[in-house]
Copies of this chain bind each other. A is one copy, B any other.
Amino acid sequence: MTLNKTHDPARRSWVESANAAGCAFPIQNLPWGVFSQGGGAARVGVAIGEMILDVSALEEGGLVVPAPGRCVFGAGVLNPFMALGPAAWSKVRGALVGLLDAEGGRRDLPLVAQADVVMHLPIFVRSYTDFYASREHATNVGTMFRGPENALPPNWLHMPIGYNGRASTVVVSGTPVRRPLGQLKGAGEVLPRLGASERLDFELELGAVIGTGSGMGQPVTTAEAWEMIFGFVLLNDWSARDVQVWEYQPLGPFQSKAFATSISPWVVTREALEPFRVAPPAREVDLLPYLAEGEDRNLDLHLEVALAPEGQAARTIVRTNARHLYYSAAQQVAHHAISGCAMEVGDLIGSGTISGPIPESCGSLLELTENGKRGDFLQDGDGVVFRGWCEGGYSLGFGTCEGVILPAPVAP
């Protein structure tokens, strides 16, 4: 894909709030979400300025017709629309830009204020996979647990390492997160005990949303993988570090990650992100051909994490950028499918914690506190807020991905 008229930085919308300097949702963005009002049915829309354009209503009224004779925006999730594929995504985006344009748009469209709605999980998450694609994060964590000489596992520079996560607990931003129970065993303890995690952490990630699938037994190229991606969300892969360290050998993280994963409510499309593609970091060893990329697919996406202890103002504790990722989302998906693993509409692909080269650019408390030596893990009542945006002739924002920690439940 190349840049097209929907990326024109000079374009403005008749929705005035979309034209404000620094607005996350200018006409060049149009991220997709699912909302409801006053307890009504969930509807599909795109964010524009401080408003939402109700695309379900546009389809009902015949102003947008992605699939003639069929309703794709009536299900309260994006999956039926995503399944139509990249040509349809692009066509609808072009139509919406036309309707919202300050010149030649229509001003009688169904808009609702973002302040008046409840946002829902925008996709039915078919499966959730989490990668480990930041070299800085893998090095930091590896150094803590295996020493600096064994920091990166031997396979790390050759493939995007990943594991299957748990789809049932992916929740939309704003959903409170209950501190998990789990088996804990301190370094000085002989036997494990059941308790509330004492090392609860966030992980700052980017999530890729798979819009079209691949067949079982049919690997895909990185170029095909890129075309399968509908868009991206901010993703918080909440982690219980004490549960993780006791459980993860030999089969990987399980209950330490399974209790909750939060995503931002707006899916920023791959097409909207097109102007912000940048080169990946330098390769230390050549990648195998199935992971090679003929074009740049990293994203120049600024990321921040703010921490708000209960009753206190939020304080920004992380500033980093998704461009640091060693493997692009396309490389992650191509590796995921190389075995013949079928990818499906609605699959969510986490990048793994995004860390950069300096301490403040680390995307987890595990790294920021050096495993609790220089600060605390999350306390009950703490709020965690992720922000993400690209900067060109305009800001292209992801909005926020937020969650507040609730106390652990009573043991069963």
Footprint of B on A, CB under 8 Å? 126-127, 132, 142, 153, 155, 158-159, 161-169, 171, 178, 180-183, 185, 191-194, 213, 216-221, 224, 240, 243, 246-256, 258-260, 285, 288-290, 334-336, 338-344, 347, 406, 409, 411-412
Contact = CB atoms under 8 A, between A and B. Distances in A.
Given A252-B163, A339-B259, A340-B260, A412 B168 contact: no
Contacts of A191: 158, 285
B192 A158 contact: yes
Which A-B residue pairs are the 8 nearest by beta carbons?
A252-B252, A258-B341, A178-B217, A164-B164, A255-B339, A180-B339, A163-B251, A259-B339
Contact of A216 (B161, B224, B260): B260
Instruction: Determine the main DSSP class of A at the interface with B.
Output: loop
Contact of A250 (B169, B252, B256, B289): B252
Contact of A288 (B178, B192, B285): B192
Contacts of A194: 288-290, 338
Nearest to A165: B164
Contacts of A193: 288
23 contacts: A126-B167, A155-B185, A155-B249, A158-B183, A158-B191, A158-B192, A163-B251, A163-B254, A168-B213, A169-B216, A171-B216, A178-B216, A180-B338, A181-B340, A182-B339, A183-B338, A217-B406, A218-B409, A219-B411, A252-B253, A255-B335, A259-B339, A259-B340
A285 B243 CA distance: 20
Contacts of A289: 194, 411
Contact of A341 (B259, B334, B336, B341): B259
Which of A169, A224, A258 has the largest count of B CB atoms less than 10 A from its CB? A258
Nearest to A145: B250
Nearest to A178: B217
Contact of A340 (B127, B180, B213, B253): B180
Contacts of A161: 247, 250-251, 254
A246 B132 CA distance: 16
Contacts of A218: 409
B168 A183 contact: no
Contacts of A165: 164
B343 A181 contact: no
Tally of this chain's copies: 2
Contact of A164 (B254, B285, B343, B344): B254
Contacts of A162: 251, 254
Contact of A169 (B183, B256, B342): B342
Contacts of A285: 191
Contacts of A347: 168
Contacts of A220: 412
Given A181-B339, A248-B251, 7 more contacts: A163-B252, A180-B339, A181-B219, A192-B288, A220-B412, A255-B338, A259-B341
B255 A409 contact: no
Given A155-B247, A252-B250, A288-B193, A341 B169 contact: yes
A240 B290 contact: no
A181 B338 contact: yes
A238 to B, nearest CB: 10
A250 B251 contact: no
Nearest to A221: B412
A215 to B, nearest CB: 10
B248 A168 contact: no
A352 to B, nearest CB: 9
A180 B338 CA distance: 8
B247 A159 contact: yes
